[in-house]
Amino acid sequence: MEMLAAEVNMSVSAFHHNFKSVTQTSPLQYLKRYRLHQARLMMLQDGLKASAAAVRVGYESPSQFSREFKRYFGVTPGEEASHARQTGALLPFDAA
């Protein structure tokens, strides 16, 4: 966070405030969501297993990744992949 704030000549707290006002989420939440979306794409487009996709996007714990994936997308990584294989489509996702 410090590096990003320094890049735009802001204090960390000012960066956090401005980032949240633009994205409606904190920088850390934004990064987590980005990583989850990237892992989802890797699993569905590249056929990676959830544990491999989790490692590639920076998760050290596959179980933590699975919990956060389910909390965010509403289904487990396995359920998502199974649905995509059967239908060729992603499950609907409501980011609310």
Question: Residue 40 is encoded by which pair of tokens?
Answer: 């989802």
Quote the domain boundaries for residue 55. 27-87
CATH of the domain at 79: 1.10.10.60
End-to-end CA distance of the chain: 25
Give the count of domains, the chain: 1
pLDDT at site 44: 85
pLDDT at site 94: 55
What is the average per-residue pLDDT within 59-71? 95
Residue in 44, 55, 83 with CA at minimum distance from that of residue 65: 55
Confidence of residue 96 (pLDDT cuts 50, 70, 90): very low
- Residue 37 Cα distances to 5, 26, 41, angstroms: 24, 17, 6
Residue 50 falls inside a structural domain: yes
- Residue type present at position 96: A
